Amino acid sequence: MFLPDFDYHAPETLAEACDLVRDLGPSAKVLAGGTDLLIKLKHGLVTPTAVISLKALDELKTITHVPGRGVVIGARATHNDLVNSPLLHERFLSVSEAAHKLANNQVRNRGTVGGNLVNAIPSADLPPILIALDAWITLVGSNTSRTVPLHSFFTGPSCCVIDPVDEILTEIVLPDQQTTGSTYLKFALRRSGALSVTGVAVAVTMDGDTIVDSRICLGAVFPVPVRANDAEDLLRGKTWSDELLAEAGEAASCCALPITDIRGTAEYRLDLVRVLTKRALKRAITEGHV
């Protein structure tokens, strides 16, 4: 399995990159860390004649807090950038932790947040926690720029709303928020280098023992990362207890529509949604953003 031949571009500015994406059209592919794209190229699953690398765009690599906007993560930030960001440790350790659960160290050194989102596989590890934290993203085209809430970004397995012949994903924003705790639990068949069988992310806003609000997002159990609205409704305004969280787990499993694949059966995934939702809620309620 070898890489096919293609033209290689490494634009120096975002504008240049956007122009290239527009000009080269469907025959080109954007390259970030390449941990998904290169495999597809080698397997002949995509056959672009040109590749546009974002590697020179250092402005897409920063993680900063912008007052009024929130924590802004550049699309080219690698998973290990998230793992090692002091800013995230301080505000949303749960995001660093989620990034740490992804793939293995080698892949985390290269793979990027933007690639993880645009690749849009249902089992991806970052979307659930980012959606639970109400993230939105910015898509920049040659003449346009728009923001999209992440929960409405995904449209199906390997499908999202980005316009592949015009847009580049530039940033992910975690807005300043009232949430008091969040976490992502991943269940995989190995501790490293394994895709999740099921992943559950939650974010909660607590007032003492009362759950003011919660967001629960399930990974790998639906064609797209999906919010467990029933469970969220059930929790709203209630005093938390183990029984209540177990009920929420049950309700969450009703929001999932998993498939059976080599990692697990649909039934098993539903069992996992129940227990992971319960455990994630308890963790976020009692331990904060972890």
Partner 1 sequence: MNPPVITEQERAQKELAVVGKGIPKADAGVKVTGQAQYMHDLELPNMLYGKILYSDRASARIVSIDTSEAERIPGVKAVLTAYNTPEIRFGFLKDNMALKKDRVRQYRDEVAAVAATTPELAEAAIKAIVVHYEDLPAVFDPEEAMQEGAPLVHELNPKGEPNKDNRLRLPWKFSAGDVEAGEAASAFIAEGEYETGWVTHCCLGTAGCVAAFDPDDNLTMYSITQIPSLAKADFQEAMKAMGVRGKVRVVLTTLGGGFGSKLDTYAFEYIAMLLAHRTKKPVKILFDREEEFFATSPRQPTRIKIRQGCDAEGRLTFRDISMVLDNGAYTSWGATTPTVMMMPSSSLYQVENVRFRATCVYTNNTYAQAMRGYGTPQVTFAIESNLDELAEKAGIEGYEFRLKNANLPDTVTPQGFKVDSCGHVPCLEAVAERMDWAGYRAAKAARLAGDATGAGGDATLVESDTAGVPPVAQAAWTELPDKVRGIGMACLLHVGGGAKIYKSDGCGTLIKVDDLGYVDVYSGSMDMGQGLDTILRQIVAETLGLGVDRINVVIGDTDVCPWDAGAHASRSTFVAGNSALYAAQQVREQILNSAADILDTPRDGLDLTGGMVVCADDPEKTTKIEKVLRKAHFASAGNTMFMAAYFYEPPTDLLAGDFKGNYSMAYAWGCHGVEVEVDRRTGQIDIVRYIAAHDVGKAINPLLLRGQILGGGLQGIGWALAEEMIFDEGKLLNPNFRDYKMLTALDSVDVEPILVEDPAAAGPYGAKGIGEPGLVPTAPAIANAIYDAVGIRLRKLPMKPEMVLAAIMEAEGR
Ligand X SMILES: Cc1cc2nc3c(=O)[nH]c(=O)nc-3n(C[C@H](O)[C@H](O)[C@H](O)COP(=O)(O)OP(=O)(O)OC[C@H]3O[C@@H](n4cnc5c(N)ncnc54)[C@H](O)[C@@H]3O)c2cc1C
Applying CB under 6 A, which part among 108-116, 145-153, 240-248, 272-280 lies near ligand X?
Answer: 108-116
- 138 is an interface residue for ligand X by CB under 6 A: no
Strand, helix or coil for residue 204:
strand
Q: How many residues lie near ligand X (CB under 6 A)?
A: 29
Other CB atoms within a 10 A radius of the CB of residue 160 amount to: 21
Q: Which is nearer to ligand X, 146 or 236 (CB)?
A: 146
Which of the choices partner 1, ligand X, none does residue 75 contact, using the CB cut-off of 5 to 8 A by kind? ligand X
CB of 185 to ligand X, least distance (A): 14
Task: From 114-122, 177-185, 220-228, 263-271, give the range in contact with ligand X by CB under 6 A.
Answer: 114-122
68 in the Ramachandran plot: left (φ > 0), alpha (ψ -120 to 50) or beta? left
φ, ψ (nearest 5 deg) of residue 120: 55, 40
The listed partner (ligand X, partner 1, none) that binds 192, CB under 5 to 8 Å by sort, is: partner 1
**Cβ-based nearer residue to ligand X, 162 or 235:** 162
Residue 201 contacts ligand X per CB under 6 A: no
HEC states along 17-54?
Answer: HHHHHHHHHHHEEEECCCCCHHHHHHCCCCCCCEEEEC
- Name which of 174 and 185 has its Cβ closer to partner 1: 185
Site membership for ligand X, residue 112 (CB under 6 A):
yes
Q: What share of the chain is helix, strand, coil (3-state, %, to 5)?
A: 40, 25, 35
Determine how many CB atoms are found less than 10 A away from the CB of residue 14: 15
Would you say 244 and 148 are in contact if contact means Cβ atoms under 8 Å apart?
no
Would you tell me which residues interact with ligand X (CB under 6 A)?
29-37, 54, 75, 102-103, 107, 110-112, 114-116, 118-119, 124-125, 162, 168-169, 193, 195
